[in-house]
Amino acid sequence: MQRIDYPPLIQELIRQLRRMPGIGPRSAERIALWIVQKKEARPNEIADAISKTVSGIRSCVRCGFFSEADQCAICADQGRDSSSLCVVEQPTDILSLERTGAFRGLYHALGGRLSPLDHVGPEDLRIDALLRRVQEEGLHEVIFALSADVEGEATLSYLGDLLVREGVVITRLAQGLPAGSGLETADELTLARAFSGRTVFQR
């Protein structure tokens, strides 16, 4: 008597679903059975959405954000402040900043940060394109919004040296206590940076 399992098509579907981040074997099986069993599932729409996204989404040629056209919605927006450029590591960081509503300028996604251990050097990031934008777009300020860790600091240091002769104001995000958290949960380094970066109290 043979060992019975799902038909090969379902087994392959489970294998494919398991490759998605955060999807374990139980979730993959559950989703696969939902696809097979539920009439209201319309799973072809999911397959379509995946295919269309794969073929339809590219990187904005200017800033690197996700886009369906050559230029993304941010770069194409005439209403934005084109004198400020915010440099981030990943295109997803752009959306995080947009959601704060704190910035109205343009962005530049490097595509990562310098990380010798992962064999990521300056040539792997969109640094030439950044330098060109700084030289050609008449910027007033370049704001670095990179991770507050060793690799983010190294990347900032490298890019800061590179841009300092270009005559733009170079700034970086403040480091300090996360909103809503108390001193007792802050590590020493965060507390030290929050202290040294203290600001004048204003009413």
Place of tokens 């990380």: 115
23 touches its own copies (CB under 8 A)? yes
Q: Is 22 in the site for its own copies (CB under 8 A)?
A: yes
In the window 76-105, what residues touch its own copies (CB under 8 A)?
77, 79-80, 90-92, 94-95, 98, 104
Nearest alpha carbon to residue 134 among 103, 170, 95? 170
Closer residue to its own copies in complex, CB, 124/153: 124
The Cα–Cα gap between 142 and 151 comes to 19
Of 68 and 166, nearer to its own copies (C-beta) is: 68
Least distance between its own copies and beta carbon 151 (Å)? 18
Closest CB 165 distance from its own copies, rounded Å: 32
* Contact string 29-58 vs its own copies (x = CB under 8 A): -xxxxxxxx---xxxxxxxxxxxxxx-xx-
CB 177 within 8 A of CB 194: yes
CA 136 to chain centre: 25
Name the nearest CA neighbour of 166 among 135, 189, 122, 191. Answer: 135
Give the chain's end-to-end CA distance (angstroms, integer).
Answer: 81
Chain center to CA of 3: 46
To its own copies, the closest distance from the beta carbon of 73 in angstroms equals 6
Residue 140 as a binder of its own copies (CB under 8 A): the answer is no
Residue carrying the six token digits 């990031």: 125
Residues contributing to the site for its own copies (CB under 8 A):
1-2, 4-10, 12-13, 15-17, 19-23, 27, 30-37, 41-54, 56-57, 66-68, 72-74, 77, 79-80, 90-92, 94-95, 98, 104
